[in-house]
């Protein structure tokens, strides 16, 4: 029997980083913060593949203490517990608190409080709460995805697993050859605005309350509030990362120019000097752009990155057009997204691969060229049908709950028997009106 006890942190800090128990759905049966912390800690343990026999959270002397018991190895529990406490320390997640304090001091924290900002029947009125990637991997991640902000539905349900973005990303990982037993290691999200709020209700005109300047001004600044970079530095270098590694873990910077572009926008503002420029001298953060950067000037290793679409952009803005060489054409979206998923898989197989080489290999598979340009033309018939099936899933959506009309297998069969097999926009399988 292995047991490990550790202090997560001071109660007055931890309670600002975990959502109040009353914000969760009643079915989760949260009575106080110990229930909330236990729930998200258990989710993180599961995401890291750690089986737990018992987990206890208590509040004593104004601190939250966690006890983990399992039948596995002692060093795994200690590694998890020490890393978990580190994440929520003053040097990492607690830096988000200072950003929140500044937002409140300036009177710009949740400007739409008590009012609706979208048509969701479950989000309700606008609510904000700090939410630093709770319930995700602590130590076994194989890549990081940088997004905009977590939706309020995650707070209500206590998990990212039911979020549309999460489910679609898992399907892309499967198509890239990543098994379900390893998928959780590729689903470690971080946000440039670590604030849970109504989904699609705080970031799009006319509700643009999470602009790029919020991330740059409140969560990326002096040493007391450089939350984004501190968390990236920590998560990109997991415990026991081999000393001889050339790079950190890879980073996908996710935000389509047509949907939720704030994460690449923050990256451009933060790392202007290392980015390529167009003929007018404008620093570029284009989808499928790759390279390396150092999180801090003093960082030990460079980080390979790829600019990617937001993981739900294809389902929101994708359509059948007459030009499959650029978004919003659904075929372009699907191929770009599969390059992103394959990019992470290639780094898991070869952590020292040059990012341009990784992109070229992934692009050859899904586009038929090294640059991920033009109309997608996979050489393998199965890959052609895979892109088509993904497109069918994104083109045909049903509400309540929002989900694809077809399973992947059903969509694949539709593509296989279409009048033009492998083309999601052909006569008998294209959506009405396209």
Instruction: Give the least confident one: 3-17, 171-185, 205-219, 371-385.
Output: 205-219
Q: What are phi and psi of 322, to 5 degrees?
A: -90, 5
pLDDT at 338 over 80: yes
Query: How buried is 314 (Cβ within 10 angstroms: 0-12 exposed, 13-18 middle, 19+ buried)?
Result: buried
pLDDT at 123: 86
The C-alpha atoms of residue 307 and residue 310 are separated, in whole angstroms, by 10
pTM over the 0.75 mark: yes
Query: pLDDT digit string (tens) for 125-183?
Result: 999 999 998 999 999 999 999 999 999 999 999 999 888 889 999 999 999 999 999 99
1-89 is a CATH 3.30.70 domain: yes
Within 13 Å of residue 241, how many CA atoms lie on the same side as its CB? 23
pLDDT at 434 over 70: no
pLDDT at 205: 72
Average pLDDT of the segment spanning 20-49: 97
pLDDT at 400 over 80: no
The C-alpha atoms of residue 234 and residue 249 are separated, in whole angstroms, by 11
Helix and strand numbers, DSSP H then E, in the chain: 14, 14
The C-alpha atoms of residue 45 and residue 80 are separated, in whole angstroms, by 8
Length of the chain in terms of residues written? 434
Q: Would you kindly state where each structural domain of the chain is located, as residue ranges?
A: 1-89, 107-379
Query: How buried is 104 (Cβ within 10 angstroms: 0-12 exposed, 13-18 middle, 19+ buried)?
Result: exposed
Average per-residue pLDDT for the chain? 95
The C-alpha atoms of residue 192 and residue 150 are separated, in whole angstroms, by 10
**Percent of the chain, pLDDT > 90?**
89
The C-alpha atoms of residue 59 and residue 220 are separated, in whole angstroms, by 31
Q: What are phi and psi of 140, to 5 degrees?
A: -110, 20
The C-alpha atoms of residue 241 and residue 238 are separated, in whole angstroms, by 6
Query: pLDDT digit string (tens) for 76-100?
Result: 999 999 999 999 999 999 999 999 9
pLDDT at 402: 80
Architecture of domain 107-379 in CATH? 3-Layer(aba) Sandwich (3.40)
Residue 276's nearest CA partner among 260, 288, 261, 258 is 288
């Amino acid at each position: 029997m292995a047991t490990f006890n550790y202090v997560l942190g001071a109660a007055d800090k931890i309670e600002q980083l975990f959502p109040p128990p009353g914000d969760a759905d009643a079915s989760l049966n949260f009575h106080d913060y110990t229930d909330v912390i236990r729930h998200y800690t258990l989710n993180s343990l599961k995401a890291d593949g750690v089986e737990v026999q018992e987990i206890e959270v208590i509040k004593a002397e104004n601190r939250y203490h966690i006890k983990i018991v399992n039948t596995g190895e002692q060093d795994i529990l200690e590694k998890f517990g020490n890393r978990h406490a580190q994440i929520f320390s003053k040097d990492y997640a607690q830096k988000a608190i200072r950003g929140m304090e500044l937002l409140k001091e300036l009177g710009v924290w949740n400007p739409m409080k008590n009012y609706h900002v979208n048509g969701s029947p479950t989000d309700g009125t606008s609510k904000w709460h700090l939410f630093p990637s709770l319930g995700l991997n602590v130590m076994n991640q194989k890549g990081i995805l940088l997004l905009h902000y977590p939706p309020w539905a995650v707070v209500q349900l206590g998990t990212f697993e039911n979020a549309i973005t999460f489910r679609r990303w898992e399907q892309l990982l499967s198509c890239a050859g990543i098994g379900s037993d390893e998928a959780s290691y590729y689903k470690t999200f971080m946000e440039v605005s670590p604030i849970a709020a109504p989904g699609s209700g705080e970031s799009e005109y006319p509700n643009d309350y999470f602009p790029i300047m919020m991330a740059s001004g409140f969560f990326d600044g002096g040493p007391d509030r450089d939350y984004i970079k501190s968390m990236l530095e920590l998560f990109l270098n997991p415990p026991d990362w081999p000393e001889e590694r050339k790079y950190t873990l890879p980073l996908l910077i996710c935000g389509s120019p047509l949907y939720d572009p704030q994460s690449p926008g923050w990256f451009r503002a933060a790392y202007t000097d290392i980015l390529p420029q167009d003929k007018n001298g404008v620093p570029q953060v284009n989808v499928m752009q790759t390279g390396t950067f150092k999180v801090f000037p003093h960082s030990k290793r460079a980080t390979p990155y790829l600019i990617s679409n937001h993981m739900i952009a294809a389902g929101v803005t994708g359509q059948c057009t007459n030009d499959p060489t650029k978004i919003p054409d659904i075929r372009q979206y699907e191929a770009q997204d599969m390059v992103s998923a394959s990019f992470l898989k290639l780094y898991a197989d070869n952590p020292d691969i040059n990012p341009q080489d990784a992109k070229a290999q992934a692009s050859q598979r899904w586009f038929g060229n090294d640059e991920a340009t033009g109309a997608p033309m996979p050489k393998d018939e199965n890959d052609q049908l895979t892109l088509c099936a993904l497109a069918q899933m994104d083109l045909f959506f049903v509400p309540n709950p929002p989900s694809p009309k077809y399973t992947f297998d059903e969509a694949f069969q539709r593509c296989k028997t279409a009048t033009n097999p492998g083309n999601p926009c052909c006569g008998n399988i294209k959506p009405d009106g396209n």
